[in-house]
Amino acid sequence: MSSKFYFCKLSMNQLKFIIGLSILLFTAPNLRAQYAWDVGVSAGGANYLGEIGGGPSLARDWVLDMKLDQTRWNPGAFVRYRANYNLGITLSLEYLRLQGADSLTENPNRFTRNLSFRNDVFELGLTGEYYFFNQADVGRTGRYLLDFKAYFFGGLSVFYNNPKAQLNGEWMALRPLNTEALETQYSAVQVAVPLGFGFFYTFSRLHRFGMKLSYRYTFTDYIDDVSTLYPKTELLQSPEAVALSNRTGEVANHPLAQELAKVYVPGQIRGNPDANDSFLTISLNYSYVIRGKSKSFGKRKNYLYGRKRGRMGRARF
């Protein structure tokens, strides 16, 4: 039996490009970057969209099948460079936990399958921001102490993919076990496309508070280690792989599973290879704007806040 699989590997040139661009962002000359850079932290929640868990009905597309009770933490750090009035670039490093369990759903098919996972994801992302709404002087005080921006963003990220499942009280990495007996195992390094919306307020020109909602489109169906068919037991390489590949026997006597347990055998559907996994994050963030060496705010105000060059603000610091 040939297993259908999806995996994504970064080439050396792709890695060099991402690393090089990241270094460029951090080391770019700051001669005219007065108030253009800010460095910050974020905290929020992450939720996974995939085969495991879900509601009592049949699987539905996108957020309609979200498992809100499985939302977990998503801290991170970032550096942002505002190239001009309407455009910015953000480099971020985030940790997030994704998880799901068939035992938590009332859907008989998923409950009988009885698979579960958690995945501690580390993600490095580079995104461009387009500020579609700018209010440079909230309250119109003339001092430019409070501004508001809303933006769309999109970009590219790489993340470490390491799904695990619990067996006899121990969390075991699933990728090395090859629970679907793939001829070529999926990679631990995966690519995603972050897309979303955000906004932030800047107080006293230095303190920035915001919120961001992000959807990650990925190129893998193995965030949860589930995609294709149940393999033949003899193709699995260890007792742990056998136990974690098919867990229907653990719930076979449950009323929801009694009629379906006999269906979950080698060669039958284990996942849905026609739809890749994805995930969502929502976070609050704070950043500190790097002031630079100049003590004048006037010139940078023209550049970042869209003011005409003939007008100078009253504020000096």
Q: Looking at the domain assignment, is residue 243 inside a domain?
A: yes
The residue among 62, 67, 71 whose CA lies nearest residue 102 is 67
pLDDT at 205: 85
pLDDT at 181: 96
Residue ranges in the chain modelled with pLDDT below 50: 1-9, 26-32, 296-297, 309-317
Nearest-5° angle of CA 219, CA 220, CA 222? 165
The residue among 135, 113, 69, 107 whose CA lies nearest residue 249 is 113
d(CA 128, CA 88): 6
pLDDT at 312: 43
Q: Looking at the domain assignment, is residue 299 inside a domain?
A: no
d(CA 276, CA 304): 39
Q: Report CA dihedral (8, 92, 197, 41) to the nearest 10 degrees.
A: 140
d(CA 220, CA 155): 17
DSSP conformation class of 184: S
C-alpha dist (Å) from residue 59 to 21, 52, 258, 295: 39, 10, 21, 58
pLDDT at 33: 54
Q: Looking at the domain assignment, is residue 4 inside a domain?
A: no
pLDDT at 11: 57
C-alpha dist (Å) from residue 304 to 94, 168, 296: 27, 57, 14
- Burial degree of 59 (CB within 10 A; 0-12, 13-18, 19+): middle
CATH number of the domain within which 114 lies: 2.40.160.20
Q: Looking at the domain assignment, is residue 189 inside a domain?
A: yes
pLDDT at 13: 62
pLDDT at 140: 74
d(CA 287, CA 307): 23
For 143, half-sphere exposure in the C-beta direction (CA atoms, 13 angstrom radius) is 10
**Tens digits of per-residue pLDDT, 175-200?**
999 999 999 999 999 999 999 999 99
Q: Looking at the domain assignment, is residue 220 inside a domain?
A: yes
Which residue range is the domain that position 249 belongs to? 12-290
Q: Looking at the domain assignment, is residue 300 inside a domain?
A: no
Whether residue 230 contacts residue 267, with contact meaning beta carbons closer than 8 Å, is answered with: yes
Q: Looking at the domain assignment, is residue 46 inside a domain?
A: yes
pLDDT at 30: 44
Token digits for 190?
């995966």
Q: Looking at the domain assignment, is residue 309 inside a domain?
A: no
Indicate the pTM of the whole model.
0.81
d(CA 76, CA 89): 16
pLDDT at 7: 38
Q: Which residues contact 64 (CB under 8 A, 6 or more apart)?
A: none
Tally of domains in the chain: 1
